[in-house]
Structure 1
C-alpha cells in the first residue's frame, strides 16, 4: 500500500502545492472587493464566475488534453492560472476580476482532469481507496494551509497574488518531471439527469443544496467574518477551521451511513448544518465562531459524498461512474447559484444573512429528504454500497471510485 502511494507522490505533491497557491484566492478576492466597496451582488457574481468556469471546463478541457497530452496540457493550464493570479495585482477592476475568476475556474478544471486521470492510471482495486483518500488529504491540506498567506498582505498588497503565482508555477515541476506514463483518458458516458432523478431524487436535490451551501461559503465566507468585526488574520483561521472540520467528519458520517438508512444520515447532517448556520448567524464571540464553523464544515463537506453514495445505492454498477459525473455537474450548478442567493441575503439582513441563506438551503434539503422517507422505502441493506469520500472537482473524479 505504501508503495502504491509512493508511486503517485509527484501527483499528490503537485495538488498540495497547487491548492496552497490557489485555494485562498476566493477568500482574498472577496476581502479585496469588500475593502474596495464593491456591492454584495458584485462579490457574489465574482464567486459565481469561478464555478461557471469550472463547469464549462469540465465539458471542454478533455479535448485539449487529448490533443497535446497530459504534461503539456497541465503546464499550459497552470501557466495561464499563474498569469491570471498576477493580473489581479495589475488590474483592480471588479469586471476584470469576474473574467479572471472564470479563467481560474476553467484552468482549475483542466488541472483536476489531468491529475485525477493520472491517479486513475496508477490505481488498482486493492489500492484505489488509499490513493483517493491521499488525494483528498493533499487537496484539503493545501487549501487549508494556503489560507494563511492572506496574513502577508499588510504592507505589500500585491504579495499574496505574487506568492500564488510562485506556488502555482512550482506545482508544475512534479508533473513535468514525473516518470509515470501518461494515461489514456477514461471516457465518462453521459448520464441522463432525468434518469438520475428518477433513480434517486434525494441524491440530486441533496447535491444541488450542497453546491449552493458551499458555493455561498467559498464566495462570501470571508465577507461574513470581516463584517462581524474580526481582523483579517482571523479570516484565514476561520476558513481553515471550516475546511479542517470537513476532513475530520467525512469518514465517521460515512461509516454511520453504511450501517443505517443513508437518508437518515443525510437528513441529520442537513439539519445539523442548518442549526450550526443559525448559531453562526447570531454569534459574535470569536472562539465560538471558529468552533461552530469547524462543525459546520464537518457536516456540510460530508453531504456531497453521502448524496453520491445514496444515488449509487439505486443504480447498477455500470451506471455509477456516469451518475457520479452527473452529480458533479449538479453540484457545480448549485455552486453557481449559491453566491447569488447568499449575496442577496447578505445585503438584506447583514452578516447574519449569509449563513441564514446557507441554513435555508440545508433546511430545504432536509425537508425534501424527510418527504422522500415518507413516500419511498429504504434501500435493502445488501444493495447499499460502501461509503467513499469523493472530491467535488470534475466528472473524472468519479472514475477514481472504488470498484464494487
Structure 2
C-alpha cells in the first residue's frame, strides 16, 4: 500500500497542498485580524483616520517587501523562508495586546505585513513553478478559493471571540504556527531559487514591462477588491439600506469571490488566458454600471455584487496563471514580486480614490470608480491581445 506522504509519485501534489495551505492560513488570519485590530483601534482612539492609516501600513509593507523577496529567495530555501515568516508573523500577532499603544500597533502591522508578503510571493512562485501548464489557472483558482474561504473562517472566528478580550490575537498567532506544519511535513519539489540577475530590482521592472497584461491584472484586482469590500458597506449605508441589507450584500460579494475562481481558472486553462482576461475585465467594467442602475433594490444589488466580486477575483487567478505562462524557473520569482507589488499599489490607492468620488458625486461615485478601473485595464488587455501585437 502506497503512502501519499512519502511516495515520489505524489511529490508535486504534496508541495501544491503545502503552498495552498499558506493561502488558508493567511486568509483566516486576515479575516480575524482586520476587524479585530480596526475595532480595538477605534476603541483606543475614536479616530477613523488612525484606523485607516493603520490599515494602509499593511498595504505599504507589501510595496516595501515585495521587491526584496526574490533576493531573499536566492539566498534562503523557499520552505525555510515561509516557515520563518509564519513563525515570526505568529509571534507578532500575539504581541498586539502586549504593546497596546498606537505607535506600537503601526510597527506591528507593518512588520507582520512584511512577513506575510514573503509568504504570498514565495508560495505563489512555488505554485507557478510546479503546476502543470494545462492546469495552472485551475490550481491557482483553488488557491484563490482557499484564500477567500479563509477570510470567511476568520470572520466567523472573530464573531465568536469578539473584541472584549485578547483571545483573538493569541488565536491568530496560533493559526500562523499551525500553518507552518504542512510546509515542514509535506515534502516535495521546492521553490526554484532565482539567479542573481533574476532577483534584481531590474528583473522585477522588466517583468512588468514584458507582461503588462499579467501584472496589470494584479493592479486592477488590488484596487477593485479593496474598494469593493471596504467601501460597499458605506455605499449601502448611503443608499439607506438597513444593517441587515448591508450584511446581505457583503455576504453576496464574498460568495461570488468563492464561487467564481475555480470555474474561471478552468475556462482560462481550456481556452486562452489573455482572451479570458479580456472578457473578465470587460464584465468587471460593465457590472458596476448595472449596480448603479438597480439603485437600492436589494435582490438586484445582491446578484450584481455576487457577479462583480466573482468576476474581479478572476483577474488575480488568471493574471497569476499568465505570469507562470510568460516566465519560467527562477524568473517567476521576480515576476511574482512585480505581481504582488502591483496588487499592493492598487489596494493602497483604490479606497481613497473611491472615497473622494463618493464624497463629490454621491454614493454612485463608487460605481464610477470601479467601472473606470476595470475599463482602463480592459482597454490594456484588448490592445495587448490584438493579433498584430506579438508581445501580448
CA distance in 2, matches of 1:69, 1:107: 15
> TM-score, length-normalised on structure 1?
0.71
> TM-score, length-normalised on structure 2?
0.72
Tell me if 1:190 matches 2:201.
Answer: no
> Greater shift after overlay, 61-70 or 50-59?
61-70
**CA 1:272–1:371 in 2, change beyond 3 Å: closer, same or farther?**
same
Aligned length: 371
CA RMSD, 1 decimal: 4.6
CA distance in 2, matches of 1:272, 1:293: 8
Tell me if 1:245 matches 2:260.
Answer: no
Tell me if 1:271 matches 2:286.
Answer: yes
- CA deviations on 1:225-256 (whole Å, 9 max, x unpaired) are 7896537xx86x76554233123234666749
**CA 1:274–1:311 in 2, change beyond 3 Å: closer, same or farther?**
farther
Aligned with 2:185 (options 177, 186, 190): 177
Which consecutive residues of structure 1, in runs of 5 or more, have no partner in the other structure? 386-404
Q: Quote the residue 1:299 is aligned against.
A: 311
**What SS is found at the alignment partner of 1:179?**
coil
CA distance in 1, matches of 2:283, 2:301: 21
Tell me if 1:42 matches 2:50.
Answer: yes
Aligned with 1:230 (options 243, 246, 257): 243
CA distance in 2, matches of 1:248, 1:372: 26
Contact 1:40–1:343 under 8 Å retained in 2: no
CA drift of 1:108 comes to 0.7
Q: Quote the residue 1:397 is aligned against.
A: none
1:129-140 to 2 correspondence within 5 Å? 129=137, 131-140=139-148
CA distance in 1, matches of 2:133, 2:308: 33
Which consecutive residues of structure 2, in runs of 5 or more, have no partner in the other structure? 1-8
**What SS is found at the alignment partner of 1:90?**
coil
1:3-402 to 2 correspondence within 5 Å? 3=10, 4-6=12-14, 8-34=16-42, 38-120=46-128, 122-125=130-133, 128-129=136-137, 131-154=139-162, 156-186=164-194, 188=198, 189-192=203-206, 195=209, 208-219=219-230, 230=243, 241-250=252-261, 255=267, 258=272, 263=278, 265-276=280-291, 278=292, 283=296, 291-305=303-317, 326-344=338-356, 348=359, 353=363, 356-365=364-373, 367-368=375-376, 379-380=386-387
CA distance in 1, matches of 2:168, 2:231: 19
CA drift of 1:170 comes to 0.8
- CA deviations on 1:50-92 (whole Å, 9 max, x unpaired) are 1211222212234444444334332321122112222333344
CA distance in 2, matches of 1:302, 1:329: 18
